[in-house]
């Protein structure tokens, strides 16, 4: 029997941009579809629990060999794998490494690539630059959360952290909340807040104002987007949260226990956070190993202390499909926690692959004309 040639599409970052990776309207639509598929259960992520965020290379505390990396802040390699059903029906992987020293070398902190494969044969369909896929899908998640969970008629957004991710978050929240009129931005570095405000005002056509204190950006906000990086975490007490507000946490923040205990807590997909807990329990250092970086760590601590139960936390996919209720009334305060999922990377990158095919963008590469052995 004649072997089958296998070709796939290679998409560089400029080609990803041409194919529409920065189109937040389309991205929010696709990520919304992904949450519907999550709610229906038409997806698989890695591991026996089918809900693993990814498989991480944990670097050791001390150097074991001259070249072996050691652990450090935001230092990791991660393989994030998923099958996504529905119209996507595709398998894929986002593979990345992160090193805070990279920017000094002219590189982003994390460098990501995505691979998509035919779910039946496993033939590669595409290999693509993943940095913008990841930033856009990460931002899209609070946008979808705000669509379902923000108070009807919400007008104001408070942003904490003027980095790459919060640019994408505000773009998406403006998509998800069509009534949004204004936003504020707080960053430890005022220069970054000013630059963010200028850029986002032009991009979104709403007034974005830099503010000098964290409190100013929280107290007036109907939707709050926290996406900070580094050791200094924003401390937000519950009394700052306006009635009816939605607090979205894309990075970590220091919230007092009452914020979780007295308000409604919703996660992107709680099953994934439960899988993190199991991973922590299996780690030689125990659950402590995940508590310093997992965005759901404060909730996990409350569960382990017997103050909350897994059943207290709803997942966004179940709300999107109507399986469980979303916002109760205009007064309810909601805390939304997201950890990032490979299904989001697979969904958004598959859409860009389709766009690229339609527009004739990208380079076709060959795996083989005929397999050497089969």
Ligand X SMILES: NC(=O)c1ccc[n+]([C@@H]2O[C@H](COP(=O)([O-])OP(=O)(O)OC[C@H]3O[C@@H](n4cnc5c(N)ncnc54)[C@H](O)[C@@H]3O)[C@@H](O)[C@H]2O)c1
Query: What residues line the site for ligand X (CB under 6 A)?
Result: 138, 160-166, 186-189, 192, 227-230, 232-234, 250-251, 338-340
User: Between 8 and 96, whose beta carbon lies closer to ligand X?
Assistant: 96
| Environment class of 143 (CB within 10 Å of its CB; exposed 0-12, middle 13-18, buried 19+) | buried
**Whole-angstrom distance, CA of residue 244 vs CA of residue 150:** 8
Cβ at position 40, least distance to ligand X in Å: 22
CA distances from 157 to 163, 172, 239 (A): 16, 11, 17
CA distances from 131 to 18, 32, 37 (A): 14, 20, 24
Cβ at position 179, least distance to ligand X in Å: 25
Cβ at position 363, least distance to ligand X in Å: 27
User: Between 189 and 358, whose beta carbon lies closer to ligand X?
Assistant: 189
User: Between 9 and 51, whose beta carbon lies closer to ligand X?
Assistant: 51
Cβ at position 276, least distance to ligand X in Å: 12
User: Between 140 and 303, whose beta carbon lies closer to ligand X?
Assistant: 140
Cβ at position 123, least distance to ligand X in Å: 28
Contact 92, 43 (CB under 8 A): no
Cβ at position 122, least distance to ligand X in Å: 26
- Taking alpha carbons only, the member of 374, 370, 366, 367 closest to residue 3 is 370
Helix (H) or strand (E) holding 84: strand 76-84
Tell me the helices (H) and strands (E) count for the chain, helix number first.
Answer: 12, 18
**Whole-angstrom distance, CA of residue 107 vs CA of residue 172:** 25
Cβ at position 189, least distance to ligand X in Å: 5
Residue whose CB is nearest to ligand X in the complex, by number: 163
User: Between 177 and 337, whose beta carbon lies closer to ligand X?
Assistant: 337
User: Between 36 and 192, whose beta carbon lies closer to ligand X?
Assistant: 192
Contact 90, 84 (CB under 8 A): yes
Residue 239: CB atoms within 10 A of its CB come to 10
User: Between 94 and 314, whose beta carbon lies closer to ligand X?
Assistant: 94
- Taking alpha carbons only, the member of 345, 367, 349, 353 closest to residue 46 is 345
């Amino acid at each position: 029997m004649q072997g089958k040639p296998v070709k796939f599409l290679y998409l560089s970052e400029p080609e990803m941009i041409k194919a529409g990776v920065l189109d937040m309207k389309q991205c929010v639509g696709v990520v919304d579809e992904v949450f519907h598929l999550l709610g229906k259960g038409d997806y698989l992520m890695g591991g026996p629990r089918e809900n693993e965020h990814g498989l991480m290379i944990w670097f050791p505390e001390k150097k074991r060999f001259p070249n072996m990396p050691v652990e450090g802040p935001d230092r990791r390699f991660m393989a994030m794998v998923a099958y996504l059903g529905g119209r996507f029906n595709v398998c894929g992987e986002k593979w990345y490494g992160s090193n805070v020293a990279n920017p000094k070398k002219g590189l982003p902190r994390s460098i990501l690539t995505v691979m998509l494969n035919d779910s039946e044969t496993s033939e590669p369909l595409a290999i693509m630059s993943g940095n913008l896929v990841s930033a856009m899908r990460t931002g899209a998640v609070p946008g979808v959360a705000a669509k379902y969970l923000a108070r009807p008629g919400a007008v104001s957004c408070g942003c904490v952290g003027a980095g790459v991710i919060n640019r994408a978050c505000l773009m998406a929240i403006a998509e998800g909340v069509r009534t949004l009129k204004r936003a504020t931005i707080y960053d430890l570095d005022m220069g970054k807040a000013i630059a963010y405000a200028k850029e986002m005002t032009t991009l979104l056509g709403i007034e974005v104002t830099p503010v000098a204190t964290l409190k100013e950006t929280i107290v007036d906000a109907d939707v709050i987007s926290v996406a900070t990086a580094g050791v200094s975490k924003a401390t937000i007490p519950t009394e700052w949260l306006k009635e009816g507000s939605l607090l979205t946490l894309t990075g970590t923040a220091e919230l007092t226990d009452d914020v979780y205990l007295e308000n409604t807590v919703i996660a992107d997909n709680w099953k994934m956070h439960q899988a993190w807990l199991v991973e922590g329990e299996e780690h030689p250092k125990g659950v402590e190993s995940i508590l310093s970086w997992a965005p759901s760590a404060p909730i996990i601590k409350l569960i382990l202390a017997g103050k909350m139960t897994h059943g207290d936390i709803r997942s966004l996919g179940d709300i999107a499909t109507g399986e469980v209720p979303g916002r109760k009334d205009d007064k309810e305060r909601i805390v939304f926690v997201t950890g990032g999922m490979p299904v989001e990377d697979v969904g958004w990158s598959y859409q860009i692959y389709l766009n690229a095919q339609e527009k004739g963008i990208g380079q076709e590469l060959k795996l083989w004309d005929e397999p050497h052995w089969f």
